[in-house]
Amino acid sequence: MDAIRFHVEEIRFAERNVALRLPFRFGAATVTACPQVYVKARIRFADGRTAEGCAAEMMIPKWFDKNPALTNEQNFEQLRFALRDAREAYTAEPDAQTAWTHFASNYAALQSRARAKGLQPLVASYGPALIDRALLDALCLHSGTSFAVAMSANLCGLDIAGSGLVDDLAGFDMPAFLAKQSPRNSIAARHTVGLADAIDEYDASPDAPTDGLPTTLQAAVRRYGHTHFKLKLCGNTAQDIDRLQRIARVIDGQAQLVTLDGNEQYADADDFATFLDRMLSTPTLWKLAQKTVFVEQPIRRDAALQRDVSALGKRIPLLIDESDATLDAFVQARALGYTGVSSKSCKGFYKSVINAARCAQWNAELEKPRYFLSGEDLTMQAGIGVQQDLALVAWLGLSHVERNGHHYVNGLAAAPEAEQLALLRAHPGLYETSDGAVRLAIREGQLDLSSLNAEPGFATGKPGAGISWDAMRSVY
């Protein structure tokens, strides 16, 4: 399948407010509500025909830029700037390009302009991350192919050799790597335990919602059958050890796999080593420690890539997330002893593919695989956002992915009923109707991805994907 060139004719944005049913605390931030942005893109081909595609993502405050002096609204405006700046760049391209070259030819300039405005690289990545998904959706719908088929056939024209962006993969056979990917039809939902989450009924808040949905970790395990867990750390060793012991009492008999997320809360490697010593020497955490496969971004981003952490990495694998801010960040991190990197849709799906290719290349040189990509979340919501992220990790062959939106948000309750029912009809295995709304269906800890792999588009199925555009606000 040849890569198709096209012009980007129009890109539009709309927002929908999403209220959380439970507060979600990660690091020093607690989120109770935020906007979800939707992107609609129209592309034009050489024969004059056009196609439309879409994407969606939450605008989480205090993650892309954790400066405490900024208000949530200022964080949202940073992301809106990134979206507008990317739109201006993509629609201004004078020549028709492949989906990949629309991204690659604008990457450096978008990062530079964001840096000149004092914005974090993660902020700069947000705009193209959404637009690239909408463009690929339009391209897949035009071609009548699913995301998995399109990616394996390199319909997007991913060409690392000609980009100048990924020199470390020079000589790597990217087309062969893409062609051998085969999407999974199910995946384990790795349940996030936020720092504000109640662990059991004795810990439950009297203000917890009475909407029929779980409000404690214990209740979530009972309802969804979770076997994979992601546990947030606060950076205070004594508090973290105490909380992990309480969590262990609930999940020890259920957990098959555990990851820990430091969310940049440890000042440096020495600070994190103190925590690790305590965790590994606490008898009541022995089972949990045996099932913990990695620790995500324990050290704050301004220090994480400043010194070698190989000694820590030999004790427990370390993964970068917030430090994975540029296309070359994983290469830098590897040299310092990190072995894992997150796949997160808000950072761009091309980055996930490139980092997966790096893992394949680096592991091919070893007797035992060491480097890995992990599917992570940013309170991804039911609907187009969840569908596209799941289609990506399914095609990459990941066996589990962090999912937390279903616990903190009341499914698709913020969307009109017609939109909810359209998604349910399109994905009867992925969604269910319960407790008054259409929501993600998690059965025995697993998500059914079969419909995502079968339909055309980037997990949308049709132009607009049933989204109620007229019910949203703030088109800009």
Q: Does residue 90 sit in the same domain as residue 199?
A: no
Distance of alpha carbon 391 from the chain centroid: 12
Radius of gyration of the chain (CA): 21
For the entire predicted model, the pTM comes to 0.96
Q: Does residue 154 sit in the same domain as residue 220?
A: no
- Give residue 82's domain range: 7-168
Among 155, 157, 158, 141, CA closest to 40: 141
Is 107 among the domain residues?
A: yes
Which CATH number goes with the domain that contains 260?
A: 3.20.20.120
Q: Does residue 218 sit in the same domain as residue 71?
A: no
Neighbour count for residue 116 (Cβ, 10 Å): 8
Q: Is 449 helix (H, G, I), strand (E, B) or coil?
A: coil
> What are the φ and ψ backbone dihedral angles of 126, each rounded to 5 degrees?
-65, -45
Among 114, 112, 138, 140, CA closest to 126: 114
Q: Does residue 257 sit in the same domain as residue 395?
A: yes
Is 471 among the domain residues?
A: no
If one counts the domains in the chain, the total is 2
Neighbour count for residue 44 (Cβ, 10 Å): 16
Q: Does residue 35 sit in the same domain as residue 150?
A: yes
Distance of alpha carbon 315 from the chain centroid: 26
Q: Does residue 299 sit in the same domain as residue 403?
A: yes
What pLDDT score does 373 carry? 98
What pLDDT score does 188 carry? 98
pLDDT along the chain (476 residues), means of 10: 94 96 88 95 97 97 95 97 98 97 98 97 98 98 97 96 90 96 97 96 87 96 98 97 98 97 95 97 97 97 95 97 97 98 98 98 95 94 96 98 94 94 94 95 97 92 84 78
Q: Does residue 159 sit in the same domain as residue 192?
A: no
What pLDDT score does 4 carry? 97
Rounded Cα distance between 450 and 127, Å, is: 29
What pLDDT score does 248 carry? 98
